[in-house]
Structure 1
Amino acid sequence: MALILVAFALAAIPTAYCYSATFQDLSGANANRTSIKFLAFGDWGGVPYPPYRTVVQKATAHEMNKVAEQMGADFVLALGDNFYFKGVDRVDSPRFKDTFEAVYTGKSLNVPWYVLAGNHDHAGNVNAQIEYSKKSTRWNFPSYYYELDFRIPNTDKTLTIIMLDTVMLCGNSLDFVNEKLKGPLSVEDANRQLTWLEKRMAQSKANFLLVAGHYPVWSVSEHGPTDCLLQGVRPLLLKYNATAYFCGHDHNLQYIEESGVGYVVSGAGNFLDPDIRHWNHVPKGSVKFFTGQASTLGGFVHAEVTQNKMMLTFYQAKGTSLYRTVLSPRNGI
């Protein structure tokens, strides 16, 4: 009932959905730099009982800080399921401190965090997470879906990241029940977001165009490909020559490449799952990398975007890189 009330409230205020993009400020960094660097991970949201964090989460946080210190990180993409198992109920919830502020304490993680919501966040109050942006110096969650634009320093190239709410698009996933998504709570809201997404992608002149959501388009693991995104989002990724799609939801690291688009699954921030039950449900030969072994202690992705390439490195929390790939700029831009 609470979700229905939120949906009606938002339907009455369309501007609450999406946030007008402006170029993000990367000032204060090395004046001679020629790239943008960031970390991406999801499904990091601890547990709802003391100590409100997990061993995997802490190990991943430690290694994220180490990599950010050594390799550089201008920001973090937080890809949903920020608070297990039912999100937060209010903006002053102690979970913000116990599961976020008290875990990601490293100096090199004191950078902007750009946040989107996952299915577990939608089980609680997503608006409370949006409101927390006013209380935190690094938590940036301006609306359910929004756009981020960056100028690659000392070049004439740009990077755009479109942050989606895939739960609003496709419906909520009842984890542990393993049932298919039943569709969006509001078809009107879903269509509004898809219309906005296509408009932003069609207008984008960015040299690197990324789309991020919680649910995967392609995945070989427990949840598998998301039919709703295959039907609604994948055609836009192809039509508008997107560079990559980032997500979480499945608790492992995957890199899948299909029709010129890179699909990054980075959901190993808190739990690990080696499940590959959907290996044959993605295009043959598209899986380039997969790991979900408990021995990795967690994981995340480091990205570096230069004027002529985007490098992705997959890290495990126990201290080594596992896989690296390079993506090209968009054609004709």
Structure 2
Amino acid sequence: MAAILRPIVLLLLFALSACTALQQRKPEGVSFLAFGDSGYHYDYLKKKVRQNPLTVEGYLAARRKKWIGKQLPQEEFEAPPIHIVPGTRQAVEASGARPVAEAMYSFCARDDCQFALMLGDNIYPAGATGTGDEIRFRKILEEPYRKLVESRAGFRLYAVLGNHDWKTSRAGRQRQIEYGERSDTAFTLESPGYYSFVRGDVEFFAIDTNLLLAGTRVKKGELNPDGSEKESGEPDVPKRWELPGGGDRRQLRWLEQALKHSRAGWKVVFGHHPLWSAGGGKFEQARSLRRLIGPLICRYADIYLAGHEHDLELNLDSCRA
């Protein structure tokens, strides 16, 4: 499993097209990128990292100790890329935000990319704060992707919220949505945190999976020393400001009606948490989310895209169960 701060790179190009018997026309395909958990800005380190600075030697020792503590083979330990905080000797894990953005820009210079989906944890590690976020938004949501956005007229980044976007407060979550509704930025995130849009013959449905999971029972995902799933009855309790207050049920009703009445040839749902998980301790969240939206995805949608895993997975579901 990738390190916690190592970015997930879901760099996917889809060419989806559909035509119906009633519409004898050339299908209008779409091509887009999908990425999530793409890294952090060095001005916004985790609190415990800021308060407990480590040298390169100390950082490597701590990472090795953590690796061994998970009973992983010592000979397979590989240190992540390191960044030295300017003006100090502090070593932190190198962020993937700009490398990911550069890779996407290079990819789209060769292949046509009409827009991108951001699969959550847009502002790592702790989301917006609800006050004084303009600089944070500029550094994290604008500057890394400027070349990509400017490479094509009307290029947009359609986003969903992740667990880290909820981390500080509900006000911080709302502040990010308000920023996403502005007309002067390519970052797009509509109120109330879930929405849909059409491109070509495809309709995309953005959902807030954190809101959904906060309204249902989720067990803590724990692993045995051999990596197998550990039976845990301990609940994963949401924070006070994450409690949905009926928002989870409203979102489920919206999703069902939006999918049911969509006339698109292809229907793509995207959120932060996955429906299936092979990346570590997130299988219980996936299990709970499957119970909530699995039947809707199977009945109405064609593809579900998610982040959160910090790896790249492709899962196929026959929807027979």
Shared fold (TM-score greater than 0.5)? yes
Provide closer, same or farther for how the CA distance between residues 245 and 123 of structure 1 changes in structure 2, counting only shifts above 3 A: same
Kindly indicate whether the alpha-carbon contact (under 8 Å) linking 1:91 and 1:132 is maintained by their aligned counterparts in 2.
Answer: no
Cα drift, residue 54 of structure 1 = 4.3
Equivalent in 107, 116, 137 of residue 67 of structure 1:
107
Q: Could you give the per-residue CA deviations for residues 82-113 of structure 1, whole angstroms, max 9, x where no partner exists?
A: 11111011374222122222212324377211
Equivalent in 109, 121, 129 of residue 165 of structure 2:
121
Kindly indicate whether the alpha-carbon contact (under 8 Å) linking 2:141 and 2:187 is maintained by their aligned counterparts in 1.
Answer: no
The letter for the 2-side match of 1:246 is: L
Q: Could you give the per-residue CA deviations for residues 113-147 of structure 1, whole angstroms, max 9, x where no partner exists?
A: 11111000001311111121326421111121001
Provide closer, same or farther for how the CA distance between residues 119 and 77 of structure 1 changes in structure 2, counting only shifts above 3 A: same
Equivalent in 285, 302, 306 of residue 247 of structure 1:
306
Kindly indicate whether the alpha-carbon contact (under 8 Å) linking 1:87 and 1:122 is maintained by their aligned counterparts in 2.
Answer: yes
What's the TM-score once normalised by structure 2's chain length? 0.62
Cα drift, residue 187 of structure 1 = 5.5
Cα drift, residue 63 of structure 1 = 0.8
What's the TM-score once normalised by structure 1's chain length? 0.60
User: In structure 2, how many angstroms separate the alpha carbons of the residues matched to 1:176 and 1:88?
Assistant: 26
Count of matched residue positions in the alignment of Structure 1 and Structure 2:
224
The letter for the 2-side match of 1:128 is: R
Equivalent in 77, 90, 93 of residue 117 of structure 2:
77
Cα drift, residue 246 of structure 1 = 0.5
Matches within 5 A, 1:12-161: 34-47=28-41, 48-49=44-45, 54-90=94-130, 92-93=132-133, 94-106=135-147, 107-108=150-151, 111-124=155-168, 125-133=172-180, 134=182, 136-143=184-191, 144-150=193-199, 152=200, 158-161=201-204
Answer with 182-191 or 72-81: which moved more.
182-191
User: What's 1:168 paired with?
Assistant: 211
Which structure carries more helix by proportion?
2
Kindly indicate whether the alpha-carbon contact (under 8 Å) linking 1:68 and 1:109 is maintained by their aligned counterparts in 2.
Answer: no
Secondary structure in structure 2 of the residue aligned to 1:190 = helix
Name the Cα RMSD after superposition.
3.2
Matched, 1:206 2:264: yes
Q: Which runs of 4+ in 1 moved over 6 A?
A: 50-53, 172-179
Kindly indicate whether the alpha-carbon contact (under 8 Å) linking 1:170 and 1:182 is maintained by their aligned counterparts in 2.
Answer: no
Cα drift, residue 202 of structure 1 = 1.1
| Structure 2 gap ranges (5+) | 1-25, 46-84, 87-91, 224-233
Cα drift, residue 205 of structure 1 = 1.7
Provide closer, same or farther for how the CA distance between residues 167 and 72 of structure 1 changes in structure 2, counting only shifts above 3 A: same
Q: Which has the larger radius of gyration?
A: 2
User: In structure 1, how many angstroms separate the alpha carbons of the residues matched to 2:219 and 2:122?
Assistant: 16
Cα drift, residue 175 of structure 1 = 11
Q: Could you give the per-residue CA deviations for residues 280-333 of structure 1, whole angstroms, max 9, x where no partner exists?
A: xxx9xxxxxxxxxxxxxxxxxxxxxxxxxxxxxxxxxxxxxxxxxxxxxxxxxx
| Structure 1 gap ranges (5+) | 1-31, 153-157, 262-282, 284-333
